[in-house]
Structure 1
Amino acid sequence: MIYGHKMKSKVEEITSRLNDLADERNKLGLLGVNVKAKTGSKGKNVQTSLIDKSTVLGREADADSLIAKLLEDEDLNRKVSVMSIVGLGGIGKTTLAKILYNDEKVMAHFELRVWVCVSDEFSVFNISNAIFQAVDGHNQDFASLDLLHVALKEKVANKRFLVVLDDIWNEDHSQWELLKSPFLVGSTGSKIIVTTRKNKVALVMDSAQPHMLKGLSDEIALSLFAYNALNEDNFDEYPSLKVIAKGIIKKCDGLPLALIALGRVLKIKGTNIDEWEELLNSEIWDIEDGGGILPALKLSYYDLPLHLKQLFAYCSFFFQKTTYSTRIN
């Protein structure tokens, strides 16, 4: 009888949870569908190394400092050195890395350049394979990590290379040691750039001096917001909106991703003061997420039409996968 009672309680708990999920689905306007997984298929993260520099504001000093370090061949006892860019989500780590990767002096300095977006899955084999395919220019199947690393080692031997590992979360030092083993034969001055939200990751990956990326200044943030909301460099022509904009950028705490997302939301709404004030005074800003980006993104999500909310929710079912892009000089 006791066992039966426990089972009944468990069933009731599961039923209650399913009902809650059904309510959430209805609130999102989602439809019930059957999704069949395709064995062996790989989703692709759309992140690439390409960038429109004209849309980037306030990172000139960061870029100049890091480019100078990239071009240095200072450590003769260490052929390959690691540089890390550390900061909150949405603060512009990837954007800064793209600026470095596409700088003309950097492109001329390195014989090989490879960009790998890693995200959640730190697979030594997948990352190594992405890098090999980038420098080799062809897809090739390897039966083991050892065979892959031997081939990769031959490709990078005595060459000065730049590898960007974007969005790293791995804190396992042994995995990093395994990943970097083929690169130790590179030419002096070779660099690996790591972007991460966690300072511990930078330390695990032997980054000597992590570059801590800060939020944008109020002046730059206001300009970035104006560009995305009004296609203007400032709010000189819209003094009534400027006061509201200052309140919004203060809540965004200098995070470029938040400023861009909300600027684009208001761009659709035009210069209606009521719409701008509604966004500024939204209760969503009271959400505490430890990073400051979640409320801003939720505001942009809630502004989407119903069919796009459905698409957004559908995309959440898919995990991020390792992708790469490269240019070889």
Structure 2
Amino acid sequence: MDEFEKLKNTVESIKAVLLDAEEKQEAQNHAVQNWIRRLKDVLHPADDLLDEFVIEDMKHKMDVVHQNKITKVIHFLSPNRTAFRRKMAYEIEKIQKQFDDAVKDMSVLNLNPNVVVVDKKNNVWRETCSYVLESDIIGREDDKKKIISLLSPNEIQNVSLVAIVGIGGIGKTTVAQLVYNDGEVQNMFENSMWVCVSDIFELKAIMTKTLESLTKNKIDDTLSLDNLQNMFRDSLNGKKYLLVLDDIWNESFEKWTQLKTFLMCGAQGSKILVTTRSKTVAQTMGISDPYVLNGLTPEESWGLLKKITFRDDTIRVNRNIESMGKKIAEKCRGVPLAIRSLGGILQGKSEEREWINVLQGDFWKLCEDKDNILPVLKLSYQNLSPQQKQCFAYCALYPKDSVIEKDELIQMWMAQGCKSDSRR
């Protein structure tokens, strides 16, 4: 077996062991956590060395493609080629020794290199849009009606603002979607636009998205702000509009004033509906009395959890599971995102033991802060296979709200060794 095959097998062995080790890491096994760091310190240089080997081999093949037999032999025995092979042999031997030393601890940590990984579908977070499936929503009818009343044409201003404020995951975007798609609201305004702003508040980008939502056409991103404003005025043509600015983080009064100047060209009664986590953002925009969105009631929370977990098959819900389910739902403090995350984990699970594991999970201890739902969301991450975790972590390289090409992302996963083949 040559050096390349030996190195390749070593890397594959390290990755196989890591898969099982990372499963056990989530059990708060600190010895395994330390061992994983140690093994990754071996894997990364091994991966680099493997790439170097492939590149050198490609260069070698290009060099000899037009050579005769004699020059091929001379090239193979050249000092540079020989030095490279010696260097590779030395580096491989060093990596192999480090790996062998780490493997000695495997039996102590009860690790298995032959773990079977279930290939589940990976989900990528996407930019928000105006569409919502109302049948999937529970408990927001009153909120929708109250916000619609705030949008009613009772203002003397041409353009006025309404804000929905609430913690992350509470359902601000969902309520805004319900309002946006309501028939009464659609009849109230001649034009409706939806723009996801997020944490990067860039005036030109927001105006471009607004125009694209208004005209339903792709806008040239090289246009100046002056051209964009003229296009916006011409397209509106003095009509009454509704603009939803979803997920705003900007607290700069100057930036908001610049955007507001562009938007003040609608007919009397035009409205801008804003969703944000921060009351400061609302105040910056001149909204003194924002609509504070509260969590679901315990009954609504259990209804949502039951709907996600069992769908229409409520026959399977025995009394014990229902009792545990209500306690789990209550622990989510009315936050739909947390409820949906746990519902996804419990979906298809009818064994009481599986529900007990979630109800008594250690992650609840980290949820003492009423606004902190991250420990609940982390449970969804923990429920992924090791390969899925690598794929999910890789997505963190993309900026928030990026639009990612599916096939390109899969190829990048495969290139980085996060995914072994192109199966979805």
Same fold (TM over 0.5): yes
TM bin (shorter chain): 0.7 to 0.9
**Residue number among 122, 126, 131 corresponding to 1:50 in the alignment:** 131
Relative CO higher for 1 or 2, CA cutoff 8 Å, sep ≥ 6? 1
Taking the aligned partners of 1:109 and 1:276, their CA distance within structure 2 comes to 46
1:245 Cα deviation after fit: 1.3
Q: State the TM-score, normalizing by the size of structure 2.
A: 0.64
Given that 1:163 and 1:192 are in contact with CA atoms closer than 8 Å, whether structure 2 keeps it comes out as yes
Q: Could you say if the C-alpha distance between residues 229 and 74 of structure 1 is closer, same or farther in structure 2, counting changes exceeding 3 Å?
A: same
Specify which of 94, 99, 120 is matched with residue 178 of structure 2.
99
Kindly report which structure 2 residues correspond to 1:190-269, keeping only aligned pairs within 5 A, or say none: 190-232=270-312, 237-268=317-348
Structure 2 unmatched runs, 5+: 1-33, 52-123, 404-424
Counterpart residue number, 1:87: 166
Structure 1: any 5+ residue segments left out of the alignment?
1-19, 35-42, 324-329
- 1 CA distance for matches of 2:198 and 2:370? 19
For residues 113 and 322 of structure 1, the distance between their equivalents in structure 2, rounded to whole angstroms, comes to 23
Residues 32 and 281 of structure 1: CA distance in aligned 2, closer, same or farther (over 3 Å):
farther
The answer on 1:63 being equivalent to 2:63 is no
Aligned residue type for 2:305: F
Correspondent of 1:158 among 221, 229, 238: 238
Runs of 4+ in 1 over 3 A off after TM superposition: 24-27, 29-34, 43-46, 232-237
Give 1:280 shift: 1.2
Q: Distance in 2 between matches of 1:26 and 1:156?
A: 57
Q: Compare the two structures and name the one with the higher helix fraction.
A: 2
Specify the SS of the correspondent of 1:117. strand
- Inter-partner Cα distance in structure 1 for 2:204 and 2:298: 43
> Shift of residue 296 of structure 1?
1.1
| Counterpart residue number, 1:280 | 359
Q: Which of 101, 125, 132 lines up with 2:204 in the alignment?
A: 125
CA distance in 1, matches of 2:185, 2:134: 15
SS of match in other structure, 1:185: coil
CA apart distance, 1:195: 0.4
Cα distance in structure 1, aligned partners of 2:47 and 2:331: 37
Q: Matches of 2:313 and 2:289 in 1, distance apart?
A: 34
8 Å contact 1:127–1:322 — kept in the other structure? Answer: no
Partner of 2:132, secondary structure, is coil
Amino acid at match of 1:66: I
Quote how far apart the aligned CAs of 1:44 are: 9.1
- The amino acid across from 2:170 in the alignment is I
Matched residues, number: 292
Cross-structure match for 2:247: 167
Measure, in 1, the Cα distance between the counterparts of 2:199 and 2:257: 18
Question: Take 1:248 and 1:173, find their aligned partners in 2: how far apart are those partners?
Answer: 41
What value does the CA root-mean-square deviation take over the aligned residues? 2.8
The one-letter code of the counterpart of 2:126 is N
Q: C-alpha deviations, 1:254-309, integer Å up to 9, x for none?
A: 100100110110014x1111111111111111225662311111111101122221
The corresponding residue for 2:373 is: 293
The match for 1:180 among 260, 267, 270 is 260
Q: Choose 218-227 or 234-243, whichever is displaced more.
A: 234-243
Percent identity, aligned pairs only, is 35
Please state whether the residue corresponding to 2:397 is helix, strand or coil. coil
Looking at structure 1, the residues matched to 273 and 190 of structure 2 have their Cα atoms a distance apart, in angstroms, of: 16
Counterpart code for 1:23: R
Deviation at 1:153, TM superposition (A): 2.6
Which residue type is aligned with residue 286 of structure 1? K
1:207: Cα distance to partner? 2.0
Give the TM-score normalised by the residue count of structure 1.
Answer: 0.81
Specify the structure having the higher radius of gyration (Cα): 2
Give the secondary-structure state (helix, strand or coil) at the position aligned to 2:400.
Answer: coil
Which stretch shifts more, 128-137 or 198-207?
128-137
